[in-house]
Amino acid sequence: MTLELGSTTARSLRGSVRVPGDKSISHRALLFGAIAEGETRIEGLLPAEDPLSTAACLRAMGADVGPIVAGEPVLVRGVGLDGLTEPESILDCGNSGTTMRLLLGLLAGRSGRHFVLTGDDSLRRRPMARVAIPLAAMGATIAGRAGGNYAPLAIQGRRLHGDTVTTPVASAQVKSALLLAALTADGPTTVIEPARSRDHSERMLRAFGADLEVGGEGNRSVIVRPGAVLRGQHVVVPGDISSAAFWLVAGAITPGADLTVENVGLNPTRTGILEVLEQMGAAIEILNPRQMAGEPVGDLRVSHGPLRAFAIEGDLIPRLVDEIPVLAVAACVAEGVSTIRGAEELRVKETDRLAVMARQLGAMGARLEEHPDGLTISGGVALRGAEVDSETDHRVAMSLAVAAQIASGTSRLRRSAAAAVSYPGFWDDLARLQS
């Protein structure tokens, strides 16, 4: 689908928007609900393609996951820690790296059962050895293309050994896969990551009853002791800060804008975007801070104003990893030269987001330099409307829509439908906020 965006008569953005449920928390609520005893009731689950992939895989293994309808609670009747059955066919994870990686960890320990995981063209190109290798150290048997790095991946489930495992990258998907594998291992497991990644699994597994402890230097290690029974919970999913990020940047860079984004999850392992926008001098206020089912939440108000360049690197990267494409758009508008370093992980997301953003923003007249691990972006450049392409990546699609908002003239965005992977209502919300 090609969408026409922006116009020569610039329109501002005003009003309130409620972003859909957090994608990371939605996947976890479905997965943990499926392996708990009893019923899990999920409110605010993200009704988008990625969580639907997780739900379909779980149903194919005997979990009773009720219909996923926007605005209605989702009921999951769990099968217990070792209750998933061998599926009759291949499990399709679609575009979702979280589905594939977390399932690898969960299924590797399902003794005597065989599973095959695949995904779309993008997912079959994403590295899985980062999960398969540490799982193999716990005794898992996983085979796939290119020595087990790429799907389709075959898992022969077996009893795993508890171990101390150091993850090769700061990735919540890798960490979570190992935590799931650890739940039924033959002894305690310690997972140590190089920098702290989002901690939704730790919070939610504990709430479900897992015996799990976070500690060590910089809270980078998690110990799981097997044996605890998970019990169905009532989960309330806050809005996704990674979806809110598009409105935060759009509001900060669009002349005359004043937006309130309601009900946004503010887990400190995810709020790097707010720190960078603050560093840029953006006018952002947190309203009604509150707690929702173990996660901090608030409403965010943003209005247009002058912005300074930013520099991001190191341990901050995992705390805003999905927001870098839209931050690249903000950097085009800011005064000065912005730098993003230590972000080589972006090359193995749904697309190579460093290359794709450099290519697509470049087509709009941005001045960017691409590095192996980041971008250097010169600000104060007037973007112009252009023919651009999401290259099938949801976050690229929405970032380019934000760029088109402040570009002169009209842009045409190819493959705009990619947004439905994490934010199906994005185009409707954009039209409403513009009017």
Q: What positions carry a catalytic annotation? A: 322
Per CB under 6 A, 322 contacts ligand S3P:
yes
The residue assigned the tokens 């409620």 is: 18
Between vectors from CA 2 to CA 16 and to CA 249, what angle results, nearest 5°? Answer: 35
Cα separation of 115 and 288, whole Å? 45
Closer residue to ligand S3P in complex, CB, 345/352 = 345
Mask: binding to ligand S3P, 26-55, rule CB under 6 A, as x and -? -x----------------------------
Minimum Å gap between C-beta 396 and ligand S3P is: 13
Q: Where does this chain touch ligand S3P (CB under 6 A) — which range of 39-47, 111-119, 169-177, 353-361? A: 169-177
Per CB under 6 A, 167 contacts ligand S3P:
no
Closer residue to ligand S3P in complex, CB, 276/386 = 276
Cα separation of 382 and 233, whole Å? 50
Closer residue to ligand S3P in complex, CB, 100/332 = 100
Closer residue to ligand S3P in complex, CB, 245/334 = 245
Between vectors from CA 234 to CA 227 and to CA 91, what angle results, nearest 5°? Answer: 70
Closer residue to ligand S3P in complex, CB, 198/415 = 198
Per CB under 6 A, 172 contacts ligand S3P:
yes
Per CB under 6 A, 330 contacts ligand S3P:
no
Cα separation of 331 and 361, whole Å? 11
- Asked whether the beta carbons of 287 and 16 are under 8 A apart, the reply is no
Would you list the DSSP string of 331-354? HHHSBSEEEE-S-GGGGGSSS-HH
Cα separation of 246 and 252, whole Å? 10
Residues that contact ligand S3P, how many (by CB under 6 A): 12
- Asked whether the beta carbons of 6 and 384 are under 8 A apart, the reply is no
Q: Where does this chain touch ligand S3P (CB under 6 A) — which range of 53-61, 142-150, 166-174, 181-189? A: 166-174
Cα–Cα separations (whole angstroms), residue 313 to 30, 154, 332, 338, 350: 33, 36, 18, 11, 21
Q: Residues 244, 248, 312, 321: which binds ligand S3P (CB under 6 A)?
A: 321
Reference 430, options 407, 393, 405; nearest CA is 405
Closer residue to ligand S3P in complex, CB, 172/433 = 172
DSSP state, 191? E
Q: Residues 64, 86, 211, 345: which binds ligand S3P (CB under 6 A)?
A: 345
DSSP state, 21? B
Closer residue to ligand S3P in complex, CB, 179/383 = 179
Closer residue to ligand S3P in complex, CB, 176/399 = 176
Question: Alpha-carbon torsion 360, 361, 366, 369, what sign?
Answer: negative
DSSP state, 120? -
Q: Residues 3, 24, 60, 406: which binds ligand S3P (CB under 6 A)?
A: 24
Residues from 52 through 111 that contact ligand S3P (CB under 6 A): 98
Q: Residues 197, 221, 267, 390: which binds ligand S3P (CB under 6 A)?
A: 197
DSSP state, 238? P
Minimum Å gap between C-beta 10 and ligand S3P is: 32
Minimum Å gap between C-beta 202 and ligand S3P is: 11
- Which tokens go with 338? 């912005």
- Asked whether the beta carbons of 150 and 127 are under 8 A apart, the reply is yes
DSSP helix/strand/coil, 244 = helix
Minimum Å gap between C-beta 24 and ligand S3P is: 3
Q: Where does this chain touch ligand S3P (CB under 6 A) — which range of 168-176, 284-292, 367-375, 425-433? A: 168-176
Mask: binding to ligand S3P, 198-237, rule CB under 6 A, as x and -? x---------------------------------------
**Exposed / middle / buried, residue 121 (Cβ in 10 Å: 0-12, 13-18, 19+):** exposed
| Nearest residue to ligand S3P on Cβ basis | 24
Minimum Å gap between C-beta 172 and ligand S3P is: 3
Q: Residues 173, 190, 243, 360: which binds ligand S3P (CB under 6 A)?
A: 173
Cα separation of 52 and 65, whole Å? 10
Q: Where does this chain touch ligand S3P (CB under 6 A) — which range of 60-68, 170-178, 335-343, 425-433? A: 170-178
Q: How many CB atoms within 10 Å of residue 357?
A: 31
Cα separation of 271 and 209, whole Å? 26
What residues does 338 pair with on adjacent strands? Answer: 377
Q: Which residues bind to ligand S3P, rule: CB under 6 A?
A: 24, 27, 98, 171-173, 176, 197-198, 321-322, 345
